[in-house]
Structures are given as structure tokens and as C-alpha cells.
Amino acid sequence: MFRVLMERFRQGYRTLPFPARESSLPERFRGMPVVDSLRCAGDCFDCAAVCPSGAILRSGRSMLLDLGKCVFCSSCSAACGRNGVHFSRDYRLAAFSREALILGKEGVLSEGGVARKEIKRVFGRSLKLRQISAGGCNACEADVNVLNTLAYDLGRFGIQFAASPRHADGLLVTGPVSVNMRSALLETYAAIPEPKIVIACGACAISGGIYNGHPETCGGVSSILPVDLFIPGCPPHPYTILDGLLRLIGRIR
């Protein structure tokens, strides 16, 4: 027992100081995409040709980027000979509406409104979520699980994952919602007492990701359930998920 206490003293406090202090991310981290309007003339669209998920859209001579479809592969950045699009290290990607995930030419994510006031009032101090993998590859699921480790300690914010939907306040869904998982997702949602929330985590859960349009998927959560929070990424970084959850319940702005 003495050895355990000494080792604990030696290791010190391991929980990351987020959100009180920003933590450094690796140089290779791909965060918020930025479209440089001075470099992108909107006349070639080579980036759209190589995008595997159809995230790059044309609006006249302007380029729009759908964060809900983006898998952050950086193929667009590599294909752009003018360096008109690149990925920043900003992990704050979550939005409260699907429309807010459409990145304009200036590279600024719109606010997309604010979360419902009752979410902050009811769940601001305690939020229990039931996580559902609706046909996911386990990448988003793994980064969600990381939030329960000592480093992130999700429970210190009053957010926990419940084993039963009857004990939960909402759903956190990953995966493109396969046809086989559709009924299970609907039944789980129905078992959660009102009021309840739904969170779409990852490109697949938001839009279907690279599986969008496949006959065996439903094209994301919003096609069958109302979604309160969209968290882009493939997979989203734990910071991105945590930031979105805290913004949803009004703990940070």
C-alpha cells in the first residue's frame, strides 16, 4: 500500500487542465479546414475531384466545404496547387445545426444558433448518455471511450455514460446508421424518458460519411431522429467531442 501511495505521489495529477487551459496538439493534427479566398479562385475545383466523401461543394465560383461530410483526409489540400485550402489545428468543430457545418469561402464556421435553453437548465449539472454504435468502424467509439480515462475525466463535468437507455438523458450515436441498426436505434431512443437529446458524433453519424448514398445505410442520424449536437470528424478528436458536449450543456461558450 505504501508503494502505491508513493507511486501516486510521484506521478502527480494526470488529468488535463481543459477547458481552463488550452492543451497543445501535435503538428500533424488536422482541425478546422481553412479556405484562403486570396489563393482559391474557384475556377479549377481540383479539390472536389479527389474528395472521397463529396464534402466540397460548388456555389457559383465559390467553394463550400461541408464539415458534416469531411473525413479530414487532406486530399483536397494536397490537390490544390495554389494552397487554397489547408487544415488548421483548431479542434472546435461542433455545431448545433446541420447548416452551421457548411464552411464558407472565408473559412469561418457560422454560429448555427444556440442550444435550447432547457438543455442547459435540465442537463447543465448532470448529463447521462447512452452511446450507440450504429454500424460504425469503432474509430469514433474509441475516441468517445477515451473521455472516460484519467487524462480527460469526463465525469468531473457531470457527464457520464449509462448502460441502460432508461437511465439516460440522451443518445450519442456513432456510425452511418446501417439498415440493420435502424430499428434498434429507434427503440433505444423511445426508451429514453423526456426530455431527451441526440448527439451525432463523427462524419458517418452526421451525413453517412464515405457510406453516404449506400443502400444499406440511412445516411446519418438526422434522417430518422432530431439531432441537437453535431460533432464532425473522422474520428473526432477527444477534445472536439468534449468541447461540443460542454458547449451543449452551457459549461463553456
What's the fold here for domain 33-90?
Answer: Alpha-Beta Plaits (3.30.70)
Residue 37: the pLDDT is: 66
* Strands (DSSP E) found in 31-110: 33-35, 56-59, 62-66, 85-87, 102-103
Residue 137: the pLDDT is: 92
What's the fold here for domain 117-248?
Answer: Rossmann fold (3.40.50)
Closest listed residue to residue 103, CA positions, set 152, 36, 154, 12: 36
Q: Taking a C-beta distance cutoff of 8 angstroms, is the pair 135, 178 a contact?
A: yes
Question: What residues have CB less than 8 Å from 21, skipping those under 6 apart?
Answer: none
Q: CA-CA distance, 67 to 118, in Å (whole number)? A: 27
Domain ranges for the chain, please list them.
33-90, 117-248
Q: What is the pLDDT of residues 92-143, one digit of tens each?
A: 999 999 999 988 744 444 444 445 678 888 898 999 999 999 999 999 999 9
Per residue in 171-198, is it b (16+ CB within 10 Å) or e — as a string? bbbbbbbbeebbeebeebbeebeeebbb
Residue 112: the pLDDT is: 41
Q: What is the pLDDT of residues 157-189, one digit of tens each?
A: 999 999 999 999 999 999 999 999 999 999 999
Q: CA-CA distance, 174 to 208, in Å (whole number)? A: 10
CB atoms within 10 A of CB 131: 18
Q: Residue 37: which H helix or E strand, with range?
A: none
Which pTM was predicted?
0.89
Q: What is the pLDDT of residues 30-78, one digit of tens each?
A: 999 987 766 676 667 778 888 888 888 877 667 788 999 999 998 888 8
Question: What residues have CB less than 8 Å from 62, skipping those under 6 apart?
Answer: 42, 104, 105
